[in-house]
């Protein structure tokens, strides 16, 4: 596509044309440095083009070895498993699978309290809120995976805002 007309005066910094090979589109993005050590070449990814409901299979094809100090972003590239037809610059939502578990215990993010003693959740025992130390996998998601500290059947307070250890609570079915 040409962004100027014949005879038009343009600034030397104006982009007049983008030339690209549309047969092998690559998706370029950045991952926050918090997760930089978790992303590896070859990991599967789900790719969803803006305006579409379908999630297409893809994978991480490149991971930079340098985090940009200005943005805290790690450059990565993703490729679709099947040929992808899309305009250059289209927004694509990418979800990279960095871990796959057949079963996991999760709690809402609001159930976890972080303080000087570490992470905890409050469980209900005999009508009282009791602080329980937990280990979680913290990812940008509404629910966090609890790897230690809770057992199946524990009654977890799903929003621990303002809850204190030993506080009387009522379980609402």
What's the pLDDT score for residue 138? 82
Claim to verify: residue 57 and residue 117 sit in the same structural domain? no
- The CATH code of the domain that includes 166 is 2.40.420.20
Angle subtended at Cα 26 by Cα 23 and Cα 27, rounded to the nearest 5 degrees: 140
Domain count, the chain: 2
Query: Helix, strand or coil for residue 120?
Result: strand
- Shared-domain flag, residues 55 and 120: no
Same domain, 92 and 154: no
Q: Looking at 43, 61, 96, which one is the last position of a domain?
A: 96
Tell me, yes or no, whether 158 lies in a domain: yes
Q: Residue 57 has what pLDDT? A: 96
Quick one: 148 exposed, middle or buried, by C-beta within 10 A (0-12, 13-18, 19+)? exposed
Kindly state whether residues 89 and 112 are assigned to the same domain.
no
Structure tokens given for 59? 């994978």
Q: For residue 1, what pLDDT is reported?
A: 60
Q: Where among 76, 96, 116 does a domain terminate?
A: 96
Domain hosting 85: range is 23-96
Residue 57: strand pairing partners: 46
Q: What are the pLDDT tens digits along the chain (173 aa)?
A: 667 788 888 888 888 877 777 777 889 999 999 888 999 999 999 999 999 999 999 999 999 999 999 999 999 999 999 988 888 889 999 999 988 888 889 999 999 999 999 999 999 999 999 999 999 988 778 899 999 999 999 999 999 999 999 999 998 87
Q: Has residue 83 been placed in a domain?
A: yes
pTM for the complete prediction?
0.64
Domain boundary residue, one of 73, 96, 119 = 96
């Amino acid at each position: 596509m040409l962004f100027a007309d014949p005879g038009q005066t343009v600034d030397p910094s104006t982009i007049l044309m983008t030339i690209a090979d549309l047969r092998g589109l690559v998706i370029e993005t950045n991952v926050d440095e918090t997760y930089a050590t978790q992303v590896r070449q070859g990991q599967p990814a789900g790719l969803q083009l803006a305006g579409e409901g379908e999630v297409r299979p893809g994978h991480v094809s490149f991971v930079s070895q340098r985090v940009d100090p200005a943005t805290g972003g790690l450059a990565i590239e993703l490729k679709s498993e099947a040929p992808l037809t899309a305009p250059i610059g289209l927004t694509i939502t990418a979800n990279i699978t960095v871990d796959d578990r057949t079963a996991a215990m999760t709690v809402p993010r609001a159930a976890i309290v972080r303080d000087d003693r570490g992470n905890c959740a409050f469980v209900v025992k005999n009508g009282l809120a009791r602080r329980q130390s937990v280990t979680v996998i913290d990812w940008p998601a509404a629910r966090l995976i609890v790897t230690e500290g809770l057992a199946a059947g524990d009654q977890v307070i799903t929003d621990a805002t303002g809850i204190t250890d030993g506080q009387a609570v009522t379980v609402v079915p």
